[in-house]
Amino acid sequence: MRFALFGDSPGMLFQAPAHGLWPLFMQSFDVFTVLLLLGSVVGIALVFICMFEVRERNIVPPTSVNRLRDLARAGRWEDLAAAVRDDDSFVARVVRPAMEEKGQDRSTIREAAELAASEESARWFRRIDMLSVIGNLGPLVGLAGTVWGMILAFTSLGATGGQAGPSDLSQGISKALFHTLLGLCLAIPCLLAFGIYRNVIDRLCTRGTVVAAEIVERIPAKEAPPSRGQ
């Protein structure tokens, strides 16, 4: 659209600036935009990976848990040792080192299981750590792009001796703030997904720890020596 300037002759026309995200995106394309786009691609990929991995059937599958629990209740320790050796669930990986201490004192068996439970919980939480890293770095990269855009805008203002018009400054500032928008659009879904999956992992790992503790307490241990007073 073309508009005549108020008070000027009809021949003095100007082209209205185009508005919209895509023109602004093309005008703001720089190294910060590339970094934010790469972060968005990685964040989306991590979210989809977590959708398929952070599930009950991968952490504490009911069929596997019930089988291990039934073997422990029945006292079939050889079958239980073979089952946890071939199983890769949370409960099996916690019970496995405890079964290796079978016949030792109760505290040794418990310590082996507690250490394995801590390692397994940390292993699952590490799967979503990158979502938190990307979510926290996104706004910072966007802010760096905003600061850089403001520097360029005011540098152009100084180069013209302060003669740049409001339209020139507004365009530069809008380009600078667009980086902040990209950073927030990257951070919000990543941090949201991180919070959701963190709660899921915490709930499932807690459930697995409770089941593993029940099985570990049934593992035969060496009888503690009687105290001198007895």
Nearest 10 degrees: Cα torsion 162, 165, 170, 175: -70
Q: What is the pLDDT of residue 154?
A: 75
Q: What is the pLDDT of residue 9?
A: 41
Cβ-based neighbour number of residue 66 at 10 Å: 11
Q: What is the pLDDT of residue 164?
A: 59
Query: What's the first-to-final CA gap in the chain, in angstroms?
Result: 101
H/E segment holding residue 3 = strand 2-4
Instruction: With beta carbons less than 8 A apart as the criterion, state whether 189 and 182 touch.
Output: no
pTM: 0.78
Q: Give the closest residue to 215 by CA, choosing from 28, 88, 80.
A: 80
Pull the structure tokens for residue 33.
Answer: 């935009």
Q: What is the pLDDT of residue 180?
A: 87
Provide the residue count of the chain. 230
Q: What is the pLDDT of residue 211?
A: 94
Domain boundaries, the chain: 21-216
Angle, CA 204 vertex, CA 202 and CA 210 arms, to 5°: 100
Q: For each of the chain's 230 residues, which pLDDT tens digit applies?
A: 444 444 444 443 334 444 566 666 666 667 888 888 899 999 999 999 999 999 999 999 999 999 999 999 999 999 999 999 989 999 999 999 999 988 888 899 999 999 999 999 999 999 999 999 999 999 999 898 888 878 877 776 666 665 656 666 666 677 778 888 889 999 999 999 999 999 999 999 999 999 999 999 999 887 655 555 54
Q: What is the pLDDT of residue 12?
A: 39
